[in-house]
Amino acid sequence: MANAPDTTQFSALSTQAIKSGSAKPNSQRKKSRGNGTRNLLLILLPSFIVLGIFYFYPMLTILVGAFTDPQVGLQNFQWFFGEQVNVDVLWRTLIISFWVTVICVLFAFPFSFFLTIVTPRTRGLLFLIVLVPFWTSMVVRTFAWVILLQDSGPIGEFMKLFGVQSLGLIRTPTAVLIGMAQVLLPFVVLPIYATMSKIDTRLLTAARSLGARPSKAFVSIYLPLSLPGVASGALLCFVMALGFYITPAMLGGSREAFLSTLIQGQVQGLAQWGHGAVIGFVLLFVTLVILGITGYVGKKTGGSVQDMVGGSKA
């Protein structure tokens, strides 16, 4: 359990770094020379120290541990990739995270669009609906889902009225998907809404004047302009989903275990710190590869779109 939230946090940070990695911050930094740079470093020093002690040092310990615990060598990696169950869990983590992302995007896209067309009052209310669960504890929310989804829960009792004896939802991949999607939805809604709210809807009017049916105008103009938001939302969602621990552990069965569950089992159950460390290493590696790919693709396509949209506002 110890390093699962760590990974999540790191992922969120990296995503932000990628998102803001356009030309602007760099050029600003170049302009401020000498004193400015020194002052800037001075301001950043406290956060560097805190990050170094509480973040980079523990992470380094784990990365090193993957190669050194209990003795120096690659035996931890041999163990991880040697046991089929580990590779299965890795696959499952990736696949469930992928579907969670798909579900979140499918819900967040129309919801975000709706947010852009309603009155500010309704928008505030809808935002509240998205964000209130976001402010409650993850454990509490997951317990709520356990109660809702179990056979003796309200949904199950309701279905019994229609003769459905066992809902069979709890401890299935479906339950994990529902629980995770609900937790992660705000992280997809917010970036998509942020992008959509900046789209000039007068472009759709222009497209109609040029002979495009409203549906065609939406697909050819609005959709591509909203893609940068969809991409960052989906990336954030996917990377965060990879590190999930509580939700799959409580809503899923043993067959829905995530990598984090595996870490917990190795470290807390078997005191196999080296095994835990190597799983953490793999998780971090996968995350970084995905961020790298997205960053590269984003630079080639999405990033330039975002720059263009930003540029045309000026």
How far the first Cα of the chain sits from its last, in Å, is 47
- Residue 297 contacts another protein per CB under 8 A: no
CB 26, min distance to another protein, A: 18
Cβ proximity to another protein: between 215 and 254 the closer is 215
CB 304, min distance to another protein, A: 8
Helices 3-19 and 57-68 cross at an angle (nearest 10°) of: 120
CB 188, min distance to another protein, A: 21
- Residue 305 contacts another protein per CB under 8 A: yes
Residues in region 224-283 near another protein by CB under 8 A:
224-225
Neighbours of 194 (CB within 10 A): 14
CA–CA distance, 273 with 63 (Å, rounded to integer): 11
Q: Is 252 exposed, middle or buried (0-12, 13-18, 19+ CB in 10 A)?
A: buried
Could you tell me how many residues of this chain bind another protein (CB under 8 A)?
27
Helix residue spans in the chain (DSSP H): 3-19, 23-31, 35-51, 57-68, 75-82, 84-117, 120-135, 138-149, 154-160, 173-198, 202-209, 214-217, 223-242, 246-251, 259-264, 273-300, 302-313
Helices 173-198 and 84-117 cross at an angle (nearest 10°) of: 40
When binding is defined by CB under 8 A, the residue of 100, 104, 189, 221 that contacts another protein is 221
CB 16, min distance to another protein, A: 23
- Residue 27 contacts another protein per CB under 8 A: no
Cβ proximity to another protein: between 152 and 201 the closer is 201
- Residue 197 contacts another protein per CB under 8 A: no
Stretch binding another protein (CB under 8 A), from 88-96, 100-108, 239-247, 303-311: 303-311
CA–CA distance, 28 with 314 (Å, rounded to integer): 17
Stretch binding another protein (CB under 8 A), from 21-29, 143-151, 220-228, 231-239: 220-228
When binding is defined by CB under 8 A, the residue of 24, 38, 213, 299 that contacts another protein is 213
Q: Which residues bind another protein (CB under 8 A)?
A: 200, 202-203, 205-214, 216-217, 220-221, 224-225, 305, 307-312, 314
